[in-house]
């Protein structure tokens, strides 16, 4: 009886040991991302894309014989909260890498944490140039999203096609992304259409509850077209206030918005309130017309099953890409040490559902053009879809 008394707990501990050891041996990725508030409409599908990538990789045995473990936390779109979570996951959870964040307030802040702790951080969505400019770049920061100079060139190219447009107004959230977005657009537009005058600029705060004064002020300048960098819940709030005031009618729906308003996520959020006729963009239009790459079709089919959704998301692809980029870097490095992985990722190429991407050795970012098109009403879908998606721009800006 005495022997049995000690043998039972020993056997139980032995049975649990492989599971505990296996969990400890996982490759851990900390993933702060907005899961509540207005930006959750984008944050949740970004996380879903990352989770799908982890599931696929683990089903194949992971990388280097180790499986991935994704630790997601709600950053609430707050730079301070994202920093707190990143530090907590590094110290308490011993994560090997960081990915995630949504806004260009969060990502640069977490990048500083990554630099201090010498841990690779892959940003899937932040577009602000300050994330990887000469002043802020460091060995551990990588970006799979587009940047504001790239999107500005694309937006200016589209705006320039409206030959009748002579006066343009802008509206964007008053923080890093909004400021960089408008600057990139204006710089590109001046080169393509020096005859166009910028007649008004509005800067509501991120998460603005009442856009009325901004709309009224902008309409008083009578622009021919508008470049708008509002996104997620802000674009929804703005649109519901602007439409009844005749804002879109006044500009004949000549608006270009580079903040992924061309996704099914945003289109479904607005429903019949969507301002049909404006030009939106998306990393992934999801619903393709014409020839669809087989890799993309498989990705969307898998995503719909994984999220149990009818249409999928235009944002999931960037979370998906961030995880696969990390996995390729680990595989190439042959270990999970950030110093080795960061060096392996320089100039590295990796496959995505919308084509191959490569990290620039100089800027640590990929050239990630987006799909652009007029948002139209479609009898086959209960929300706006992108008509004839066009991949823009063709290359990085050269100025």
- Assign 3-class secondary structure to 40-105: HHHHHHHHHHHHHHHHHHHHCCCECCECEEEEEEECCCCHHHHHHHHHHHHHCCCCCEEECCCCCC
> pLDDT for 181-193, tens place per residue?
999 999 999 999 9
Give pLDDT, residue 397. 86
Give the whole-angstrom CA distance, residue 282 versus residue 257: 10
> Would you state the pLDDT for residue 17?
40
pLDDT band, residue 20 (cuts 50/70/90)? very low
Q: Is the pLDDT of residue 217 over 50?
A: yes
Fold that domain 8-146+299-358 belongs to in CATH: Rossmann fold (3.40.50)
Judge whether 292 and 393 are in contact, CB under 8 Å. no
pLDDT at res. 18: 42
pLDDT at position 38: 82
Q: Residue 7 — pLDDT band, cuts 50, 70, 90?
A: very low
pLDDT at 6 over 50: no
Q: pLDDT at residue 3 above 80? A: no
Predicted confidence (pLDDT) per residue in 326-372, tens digit: 999 999 999 999 999 999 999 999 999 998 999 999 999 999 999 99
Q: How large is the average pLDDT for residues 76-102?
A: 98
In this structure, the number of other CB atoms found within 10 A of the CB of residue 200 comes to 18
- pLDDT score at 293: 86
Residue 8 binned pLDDT confidence (cut-offs 50, 70, 90): very low
Comparison of pLDDT for 232 and 94, the residue scoring more: 94
Kindly state the average pLDDT of the residues 97-125: 97
Q: Give how far the C-alpha of residue 285 lies from the chain's centroid of Cα atoms, to the nearest Å.
A: 13
Q: Which CATH superfamily is domain 149-282+370-392 in?
A: Response regulator (3.40.50.2300)
What the block records as the tokens of 200 is 């008004």
Indicate whether 12 pLDDT > 70: no
pLDDT for res 39: 86
The whole-number pLDDT of residue 24 equals 64
Whose tokens are 């005058």? That residue is 197
Round to whole Å and give the CA distance between 184 and 147. Answer: 9
* Dihedral sign for Cα atoms in the order 376, 379, 381, 382: positive
User: Where do the DSSP E strands lie in the chain?
Assistant: 27-33, 68-74, 97-99, 121-123, 141-143, 167-171, 197-202, 225-228, 255-256, 279-282, 349-350, 357-358, 370-376, 385-392
- Integer-rounded Cα Rg, in Å, for the chain is 23
Residue 16 pLDDT greater than 50, yes or no = no
Taken in order 106, 109, 115, 118, the sign of the CA dihedral is negative
Q: What does the pLDDT read at residue 341?
A: 98
23 pLDDT band, cuts 50/70/90, is: low
Task: Please state the rounded mean pLDDT for residues 211-238.
Answer: 97
At 299 the three-state DSSP class reads helix
When the pLDDT of each residue in the chain is averaged and rounded to a whole number, the result is 93
pLDDT of residue 62 exceeding 60, the answer is yes
Cα dist from 339 to 117, 118, 119, 344, whole Å: 11, 7, 8, 9
End-to-end Cα spacing for the chain: 83
Q: How confident is the model at residue 398 (pLDDT cuts 50, 70, 90)?
A: confident
Give CA–CA dist 204/38, Å, rounded. Answer: 15
The helix/strand/coil state of 66 is strand
Cα–Cα distance measured from residue 288 to residue 380, given in angstroms and rounded to the nearest whole number: 13
pLDDT at 41 over 60: yes
Task: Give me the pLDDT at residue 399, please.
Answer: 62
Q: Where in the chain is the domain with CATH 3.40.50.2300?
A: 8-146+299-358, 149-282+370-392
- Segment 298-325 shows an average pLDDT of 96
Half-sphere exposure at residue 23, Cβ-oriented, CA atoms within 13 angstroms: 6
Q: CB–CB of 168/97 below 8 Å?
A: no
| Predicted local confidence at residue 316, as pLDDT | 97
The conformational region for residue 226 under phi > 0 = left, psi -120 to 50 = alpha, else beta, is beta
> Which tokens belong to 185?
């657009």
Q: How confident is the model at residue 4 (pLDDT cuts 50, 70, 90)?
A: very low
Q: Each residue of 252-303: pLDDT tens digit?
A: 999 999 999 999 999 999 999 999 999 999 999 999 877 788 999 999 999 9
Classified as helix, coil or strand, 294 is: helix
């Amino acid at each position: 009886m005495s022997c049995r008394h000690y043998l039972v707990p020993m056997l139980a501990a032995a049975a649990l040991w492989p599971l505990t050891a296996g969990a400890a041996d996982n490759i851990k990725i900390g993933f702060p991302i907005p899961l509540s508030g207005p930006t959750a409409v984008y944050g949740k599908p970004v996380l879903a894309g990352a989770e799908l990538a982890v599931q696929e990789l683990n089903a194949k045995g992971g990388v280097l014989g180790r499986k991935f473990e994704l630790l997601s936390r709600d950053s609430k779109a707050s730079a301070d909260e994202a920093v707190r979570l990143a530090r907590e996951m590094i110290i308490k959870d011993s994560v090997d890498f960081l990915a995630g964040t949504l806004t260009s307030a969060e990502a640069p802040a977490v990048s500083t944490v990554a630099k201090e702790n010498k841990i690779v951080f892959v940003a899937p969505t932040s577009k602000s140039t300050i994330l990887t400019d000469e002043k802020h770049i460091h060995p551990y920061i990588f970006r799979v999203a587009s940047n504001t100079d790239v999107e500005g060139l694309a937006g200016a190219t589209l705006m320039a096609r409206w030959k009748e447009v002579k006066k343009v107004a802008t509206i964007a959230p008053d923080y890093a992304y909004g400021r960089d977005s408008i600057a990139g657009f204006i710089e590109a537009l001046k080169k393509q259409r020096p005859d166009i005058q910028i007649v008004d600029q509005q800067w509501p705060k991120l998460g603005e509850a009442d856009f009325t004064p901004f709309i009224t002020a902008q309409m008083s300048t009578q622009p021919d077209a508008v470049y708008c960098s509002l996104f997620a819940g802000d674009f929804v709030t703005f649109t519901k206030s602007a439409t009844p005031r005749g804002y879109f009618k006044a500009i004949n729906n000549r608006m270009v918005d580079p903040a992924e308003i061309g996704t099914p996520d945003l289109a479904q959020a607005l429903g019949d309130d969507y301002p049909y006729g404006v030009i939106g963009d998306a990393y992934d239009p999801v619903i393709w017309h014409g020839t669809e790459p087989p890799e993309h079709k498989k990705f969307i089919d898998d995503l719909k099953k994984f999220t149990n959704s009818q249409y999928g998301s235009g944002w999931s692809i960037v979370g998906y890409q961030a995880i696969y980029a990390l996995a390729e870097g680990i595989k190439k490095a042959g270990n999970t040490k950030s110093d080795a992985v960061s060096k392996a990722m320089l100039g590295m190429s990796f496959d995505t559902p919308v084509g191959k991407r490569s990290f620039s050795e100089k800027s640590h970012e990929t050239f990630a053009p987006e799909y652009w098109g007029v948002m139209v009403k479609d009898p086959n879908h209960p929300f706006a879809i992108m008509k004839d998606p066009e991949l823009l721009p063709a290359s990085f800006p050269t100025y």
